[in-house]
Structure 1
Amino acid sequence: MTAKEAVKAMARGIKRVYPDAEYVLVPMADGGEGTVQSLVDATAGKLVTAKVHNLLNHLVDADYGLLGDGETAVIEMAAASGIQFINAKTANPLVTTTYGTGELILNAIKRGAKKIIIGIGRSATVDGGAGMAQALGARLLKADGQPIGFGGGGALAELAQIDTSQVDPRIAKATIAIASDVTNTLTGPKGAAPIFGPQKGATPEMVKILDRNLHHYAEVITRRTGQSVEKLAGAGAAGGLGAGLLVFTNAQMQHGVDLVIAPTKLKEKAADADYVFTGEGGIDFQTKFGKTPYGVAKACKSVAPKAPVIVLAGNIGRGGNSLYTTGAIDAIFGTPAGAKSLKQALCDAPNDIAQTAENVARLIRVSNYSKRALKNNLVLIS
């Protein structure tokens, strides 16, 4: 379900109990899959389709969002460089490239975008953002002055020079926010190749080659630009795309959900809330490290501290109850109605969410009645 579909399902269920309440629907995301659609929906923006090269250099149609302000674009790198374009036979981060992601950035800037939010989840590349840089106009050259080509992480071994004189000057004027909570470095034991390479099809031998090539890439960058990105937290995100963006654009790393809160005006809309409902497919101990429900809860509590925050989740995983100690989330409810297969759960999700939201609303109504009717509090658990 998209975030918009999920919030509509919640509202549909609550309205069965409180038909006359005022409902403010704010589709949210945290920089991962669905961020483009959430921000387009929340800001009355529009989707733009561009013909770009995917990670295997095949032409594809990829969508990104232009938000309602007309100056902000939101891009998911997976639209051009995502794992959906490869399979078990074609997965090879020695050749996959982020070139198409760079083409999307350039397309957005040519359309007048002055700020770009980039979600970097679901990538299948480990090229350090080299392909992205090439699409923006950077020339990555061998020792003889010839281009290294568009060979992904494998081609970086031949890199000797970087020429940025042909990069579109509008790139430097645009601000780019990288929506990522990843803190991995570009190289080393916690670097892009050993941590993310196997997920993208890298064999143990490929991991060694990629890590060595990224180290060489970082050394050339330092010689050419004076920037040292190899051990920067977050540089290894999305197979090193984090490093490429930090070097070749005016980019900064930010928590994904924080980037979504501002353009959706979540805090302004939550200021008068009596109750806040939010949710996610799965919730567990990791949720407090930048996931959507926790970001929403913190933002809303900052402007409406007395409003209970209620989370609906398709799955409540290990450590979910630890969220109660944060003071931001007041109640968590699982939504599936009974045991069922994943396929059936996905099919039933809209109705299950609506039914759970209705049940919570009925509990709220009973609780509010009890507060008025009783002088003493009594809780009977049977």
Structure 2
Amino acid sequence: MSRIVIAPDSFKGTASAADAAAALAAGWRAVRPDDELVERPMADGGEGTLDAFASAVPGARRMPVTVRGPVSEPAETSWLLLPDGTGVVELASTSGLTMLDPLEPLDAHSAGFGEAIAAALDAGVERLLLALGGSACSDGGAGALTVLGGWFLDDSGAPVPLGNRGLALLDRVDLSGVRPLPHGGAVILGDVTNPLLGGLGAAAVFGPQKGADAATVDVLEANLARLADLVPTAMQPLAAAAGAGAAGGAGFGLLAWGAQMGGGAALVAETVGLPEVIVGADLVITGEGRFDGQSEAGKAPTVVAGLARDARVPTALVAGAITAEPRGFAASVALVDLAGSGAAAMAEPLRWLEAAGAALARASD
């Protein structure tokens, strides 16, 4: 009997990490029913982070909350309370890209993210883990900081409208009344290293993903630059910090609040106890929707493979599509190859994930 650890990230837009892990396990079990299977869904700070913690941490509790979605529509969501008093808040589930159709790059905001953070603070959390990924907004975190007690004012002293568009009217920023961090601080979960501004910044790199054309990217950039110029002087250098451009600049706002930048996938793995589970395993299976050139830059499968390598355990990769050489993996399976096309794989992702699990199990015999 072998022990197999199954630790995939979500297959974005098609299957959650927990569902992907369950499907891979079902496929493996159909071929090798006597093996011990340990499921540890993973995340890198983006969509699915909350689900990964909820399924992997015994005693984790979802705390329902109603927030303003990315364009102020009421949104039913939740944050997660871990048994040690840590609160996990996911931006994708409060101010996320998948919550909008059509996209609103100038008007989407992070106020709902701030409302979920405030709810966690009200509940007395000892520490915050703030998952940044999958955002619809490009407001530099101004919406979230407004909810937490910051003031973003125009030249008449009135609050500017939420969203990036409102930052064009900004004349003064007052963060003196922002709520304090919890006793144990706040850590940003995310592997994005982009600064706030410039060619690698929030507007240039992520604006197009949020529906911005070239002209709109220029507007987003100018308005974020205005915000960076008007925050207190001591905070202005944070615009150049690695990760300040995450989530439309929400990384910048959270750094200004006093949060610390942390590795997304690595910190998730540590929190869900993945390193301990891997020790003594015979195989680790990981994966994500698309394994490409960016995957080696701290994405979940690469982090999982690194942990397995440290424990001298082989790793298999399953991805919807594999477009980069899967170095360091003992085996790899692409769902598009099993299904015959990308469209077929995306139409029935759990079916093909189960088939991938079975294929890996047969290959291990």
Cα offset, 1:244, TM superposition? 0.4
* 1:339–1:214 Cα change, 3 Å: same
> 1:192-245: CA deviations, max 9, x gaps?
22222233233434333332222221122143x454222222211111111000
> 1:281-338: CA deviations, max 9, x gaps?
2222322112211111111221x21x21111222222x2x2x32xxx42211224534
Q: Is the 8 A contact 2:16 2:48 kept in 1?
A: yes
TM-score normalised per structure 2: 0.87
Given candidates 70, 75, 80, the residue that maps to 2:94 is 80
* 1:266–1:97 Cα change, 3 Å: same
Q: Does 1:57 align with 2:72?
A: yes
Residue of structure 2 equivalent to 1:147: 158
Q: Is the 8 A contact 1:95 1:153 kept in 2?
A: yes
Given candidates 272, 276, 280, the residue that maps to 2:284 is 276
Q: How many residues align?
A: 349
Q: Which has the higher contact order (CA 8 A, sep 6+)?
A: 2
Q: Separation in 2 of the partners of 1:285 and 1:207?
A: 24
Q: Separation in 1 of the partners of 2:107 and 2:144?
A: 14
Instruction: Return the letter of the residue paired with 1:38.
Output: A
Cα offset, 1:97, TM superposition? 1.5
Residue of structure 1 equivalent to 2:118: 106
Q: Separation in 1 of the partners of 2:32 and 2:112?
A: 48
Q: Separation in 2 of the partners of 1:119 and 1:301?
A: 26
Cα offset, 1:174, TM superposition? 4.6
3-state SS of paired residue (1:24): strand
Instruction: Return the letter of the residue paired with 2:166.
Output: A
Q: Does 1:261 align with 2:272?
A: no
Cα offset, 1:84, TM superposition? 3.0
Residue of structure 2 equivalent to 1:333: 333
Given candidates 222, 235, 238, the residue that maps to 1:229 is 238
Residue of structure 1 equivalent to 2:254: 245
Residue of structure 2 equivalent to 1:134: 146
Cα offset, 1:341, TM superposition? 6.0
Q: Is the 8 A contact 2:186 2:259 kept in 1?
A: yes
Q: Is the 8 A contact 1:33 1:76 kept in 2?
A: yes
Q: Separation in 1 of the partners of 2:346 and 2:128?
A: 32
Given candidates 174, 198, 202, the residue that maps to 1:192 is 202
Cα offset, 1:70, TM superposition? 4.3
Structure 2: 5+ residue stretches without partners: 1-14
Superposed counterparts of 1:209-224, under 5 Å: 209-223=219-233
Cα offset, 1:172, TM superposition? 5.3
Q: Is the 8 A contact 1:246 1:252 kept in 2?
A: yes
Q: Is the 8 A contact 1:148 1:156 kept in 2?
A: no
Residue of structure 1 equivalent to 2:17: 3
Superposed counterparts of 1:285-324, under 5 Å: 285-302=293-310, 304-305=311-312, 307-317=313-323, 319=324, 321=325, 323-324=326-327
* 1:189–1:104 Cα change, 3 Å: same
Q: Separation in 1 of the partners of 2:331 and 2:193?
A: 30
Q: Is the 8 A contact 1:9 1:353 kept in 2?
A: yes
> 1:355-377: CA deviations, max 9, x gaps?
33233223322xxxxxxxxxxxx
Residue of structure 2 equivalent to 1:202: 212
Name the % identity: 35
Q: Which runs of 4+ in 1 moved over 4 A?
A: none
Q: Separation in 1 of the partners of 2:115 and 2:183?
A: 17
Q: Separation in 2 of the partners of 1:123 and 1:226?
A: 23
Specify which structure has the higher proportion of helix.
1
Instruction: Return the letter of the residue paired with 1:151.
Output: L
* 1:359–1:239 Cα change, 3 Å: closer
Q: Separation in 2 of the partners of 1:111 and 1:17?
A: 46
Q: Is the 8 A contact 2:47 2:93 kept in 1?
A: no
Q: Separation in 1 of the partners of 2:335 and 2:342?
A: 14
> 1:130-188: CA deviations, max 9, x gaps?
111101011222344x233333122223333333333223x253522222222222122
Residue of structure 1 equivalent to 2:48: 34
Q: Separation in 1 of the partners of 2:31 and 2:211?
A: 50
Q: Does 1:162 align with 2:173?
A: yes
* 1:13–1:78 Cα change, 3 Å: closer
Q: Which has the larger radius of gyration?
A: 1
Q: Separation in 2 of the partners of 1:266 and 1:25?
A: 10
Q: Separation in 2 of the partners of 1:282 and 1:92?
A: 26
Q: Is the 8 A contact 1:126 1:239 kept in 2?
A: yes
Q: Separation in 2 of the partners of 1:137 and 1:329?
A: 48
TM-score normalised per structure 1: 0.84
Q: Separation in 1 of the partners of 2:200 and 2:351?
A: 42
CA RMSD of the aligned region, Å? 2.2
